[in-house]
Amino acid sequence: SGILNLGNSNLVTNSNTLSIGTSISNLGSLLLTSGKVIGNLRRWFSNSVVPNALFPVGTSQLKYTPITLNNIIGNGTFTVSAVPGKHPNASGTNVLQMYWKLTNGGITSTDLIFNYLDADVVGDETQYEIGRYNGSWVFPSPIILDALANTVRINGMNSFSDWTLGEPTALPVELSSF
């Protein structure tokens, strides 16, 4: 029927990707109560039809760390997965003990809301910044970090890859020139 209903269940995809919808003309839809996708979740978008979308993803330890896209501009696919452990390119210890992989296939801009768990926080969460890794760390701003709700929001993003949270010294900026 074009509707995925996760209900209270978890769906483990391992290295496979679950795709909701098949094209811009067949977007599909997602219903859930408290279930999550453990692995890769791809959704099709058309900003004229779906301006906001939840990616109910979690890590292999069954931790629920979803991402929400708001104010989506563009048409195409977007894929999200949550990965346990600190990002392999984070050098310090005061960094979130999980990260997200975001792969874009046609979205030109969106607001991102990342949800994380207290159990994954190491260090002073109020000092956290969000970093995007694509060969080096980039720190978009401004961000809205809500340590009580365990969310961070970034508006108007148009570049996507690996994302995590951490204290600035844990996510070093590489010197490209001097």
Residue 175: DSSP 8-state? P
3-state DSSP assignment of residue 30: strand
CB atoms within 10 A of CB 22: 11
Beta-ladder partners of 86: none
pLDDT interval class at 176 (50, 70, 90):
very low
User: Per-residue pLDDT averaged across 153-158, rounded?
Assistant: 95
- Pairwise CA distance, residues 75 & 47, whole Å: 6
User: What predicted TM-score, i.e. pTM, was given to this entire model?
Assistant: 0.90
Model confidence at 2: pLDDT above 60: yes
Model confidence at 59: pLDDT above 50: yes
pLDDT (tens digit per residue) in 5-51: 888 888 999 899 988 887 766 777 887 778 899 999 998 887 766 77
**CB-based burial of residue 13 (10 Å sphere; 0-12 exposed, 13-18 middle, 19+ buried)?**
middle
